[in-house]
């Protein structure tokens, strides 16, 4: 049976593990989990019904090694795993840690894949960008697609596009939460109870997004379907455009991208 080693099992690592187990991509007995110490490793492994690793030595024979730790922990975690000369696919979900940097922690020829998932993977509606390193093969990319495909949609891109998607889809839930909160405030302002306003705003954005994905129509075409000439919707859109909604969103994504580039250069 193929072994899978997970280094770090916080919110994102746990979502990935749960998705793979529930969709049959991984079997519980094949998974080894390593946290920052043995007690934490045993505790987390017990929650998911998987094995725990004392030092990550399973990397030597693991088919997949998932680095699900924060960027500042990557050097320590990757070096520890790299010491066991892994032959399987190494997948990192750390933001702003490049394929080149990751490769420096492993023996030459290690097959490395970077993935940038967003937080909606925790509810099975995520978006994950996938980029392979120089030594990565087609099977490594397919492996990443199989894992993250259980948690939503995936896109195979080059590394620059992966970072760009980090500024759009990776940070995007944060933008969406601000928009939902603002729409809910607007609902309260015109007389709706807070709970109803939040639910209405969230479900409306969810439904609109689903229409874009399932119909394949351009958002502008779908917008036109609900903007009658001289009607109420176009009046609302006009005021939002006048207040700079579109420009604010574009500027926000650009600022996020600039910050990501600055972090990568450090």
What domains does the chain contain, in order, with CATH numbers?
3-157 (3.40.50.720), 172-265 (1.10.3730.10)
Q: Are 14 and 119 in contact (CB under 8 A)?
A: no
How far the first Cα of the chain sits from its last, in Å, is: 41
Task: Record the pTM.
Answer: 0.92
| CB atoms closer than 10 angstroms to residue 150 | 22
Beta bridge partners of residue 34, listed in sequence order: 7
Determine which helix (DSSP H) or strand (DSSP E) holds 109, and give its type and residue range: none
Q: Would you give per-residue pLDDT tens digits along the chain (266 residues)?
A: 799 999 999 999 999 999 999 999 999 999 999 999 999 999 999 999 999 999 999 999 999 999 999 999 999 999 999 999 999 999 999 988 999 999 999 999 999 999 999 999 989 999 999 999 999 999 999 999 999 999 999 999 999 999 999 999 999 999 999 999 999 999 999 999 999 999 999 999 999 999 999 999 999 999 999 999 999 999 999 999 999 999 999 999 999 999 988 887 76
Where in the chain does DSSP place strands (E)?
3-7, 31-34, 51-52, 62-67, 89-92, 111-116, 126-132, 152-156
Q: Is the dihedral of CA 93, 95, 99, 100 positive or negative?
A: negative
Show the CA angle centred on residue 224, arms to residues 222 and 226, nearest 5°: 85
């Amino acid at each position: 049976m193929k072994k899978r080693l997970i280094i770090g099992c916080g919110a994102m690592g746990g979502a990935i593990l749960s998705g793979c187990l529930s969709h049959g991509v991984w079997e519980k007995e094949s998974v080894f989990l390593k946290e920052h110490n043995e007690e934490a490793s045993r505790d987390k492994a017990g929650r998911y019904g998987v094995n725990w690793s004392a030092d990550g030595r399973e990397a030597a024979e693991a088919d997949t090694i998932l680095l699900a730790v924060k960027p500042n922990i990557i050097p320590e975690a990757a070096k520890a795993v790299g010491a066991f000369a892994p032959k399987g696919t190494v997948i990192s979900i750390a933001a702003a840690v490049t394929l080149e940097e990751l490769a420096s922690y492993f023996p030459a020829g290690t097959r490395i894949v970077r993935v940038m998932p967003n937080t909606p993977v925790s509810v099975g509606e995520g978006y994950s960008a996938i980029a392979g390193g120089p030594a990565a093969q087609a099977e490594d990319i397919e492996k990443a697609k199989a894992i993250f495909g259980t948690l939503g949609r995936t896109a195979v891109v080059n590394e620059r596009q992966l970072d760009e998607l980090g500024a759009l889809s990776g940070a995007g839930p944060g933008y969406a939460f601000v928009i939902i909160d603002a729409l809910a405030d607007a609902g309260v302002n015109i007389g709706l109870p807070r709970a109803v306003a939040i639910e209405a705003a969230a479900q409306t954005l969810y439904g609109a997004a689903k229409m874009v994905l399932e119909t394949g129509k351009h958002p502008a075409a779908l917008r036109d379907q609900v903007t009658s000439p001289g009607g109420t919707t176009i009046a609302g859109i006009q005021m939002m455009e006048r207040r700079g909604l579109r420009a604010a969103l574009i500027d926000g994504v650009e600022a996020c991208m600039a910050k990501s580039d600055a972090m990568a250069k450090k």
